[in-house]
Amino acid sequence: MILSMTGYGAAQAEEGGVSHALEIRSVNNRYLKVTIKLPEHLQFAEAEIDRLVRNRLARGTVTLTFRQRSDASAVAKSLNLDALQQYVDLLSRVRASDGAATTIDLATIAQLPGVADPGGLDDAQRQRRLEVLLDLTGRGLDAMIVMRREEGRSLHAELLSHCAAIRTELDAIAERAPVVVEEYHERLRARVAMLMQAGGFELAADGLMREVAVFAERCDITEEVSRLRSHLDQFAELCDRGEQVGRTLDFLAQEFLREANTIASKSNDARIARSVVQVKTMIDRVKEQVQNVE
């Protein structure tokens, strides 16, 4: 079953008084583009997270956002009191233009560089944090892929519905095509008969049949109809068979349009032309939906 490139997943974990949260979002893209947003002291894990994502996904713009929150005791241990005091001393010397004392908000100062420092991690701590982040990534990917698969089911049904509509119009075109030659034969015969009657001469029957044969050859669309049906069969097989077929489906949609344009240019019939307009409308919908298939 095909997968959509649109999805969302989330995961949470707590380790040693530190809460970790992940949000992962995905939208369509011709290729795979991964953006990872990590707190500065956890950026050592970015390469491993990127590798895990690329092993699970083939296409899409994927954004992973990691957030970390520590409990009060952990935050207190991580505060750089010397840096905090320096900021306070510096701001306390600032006076407003009217001479009023400046109000200092310690919560705001705590967010300044160098105040809330999580501190360095030893090798064991780094390894444990990496394991937590990779576990979060795996669970977030699982949740997002479930959503992608559900979206894929909807895409699958819609794409096959459009293909069925194209088949219906193709059947009408195939039924109409032989009639076009017959009608041309009758029109040509009637026109020749009228001209011969007015001019007093006769036209050999083989000359009339030769003209009809040339017309029939020029407007023969049997191969184009057959190829388009074959492309539709292959399209349906790919939708049922694999999960990473978006590029192939996109190529087939382009082939749909090429065959439809050839049918329109060769048919030389208004009713077939109207059917081709409907076919091309369905193809445009297919091409639009295929852009979101992984």
Tens digit of each residue's pLDDT (9 = 90 or more) over 232-271: 999 999 998 877 899 999 999 999 999 999 888 887 788 8
Residue 83: per-residue pLDDT: 75
* Cβ neighbours of residue 55 closer than 8 Å, sequence gap 6 or more: none
Measured between alpha carbons, how far is 116 from 103 in angstroms, rounded to an integer? 21
Task: State the virtual CA torsion across 253, 259, 261, 266 in degrees, nearest 10.
Answer: -170
Q: What is the residue-wise DSSP string for 45-78?
A: GHHHHHHHHHHH-SSEEEEEEEEEEE-HHHHHHH
Point out the residues of the chain with pLDDT beneath 50. 72, 75
Q: Are 143 and 56 in contact (CB under 8 A)?
A: no
Residue 236: per-residue pLDDT: 93
Q: Model pTM greater than 0.75?
A: no
Residue 76: per-residue pLDDT: 53
Residue 178: per-residue pLDDT: 78
Residue 26: per-residue pLDDT: 96
Residue 227: per-residue pLDDT: 92
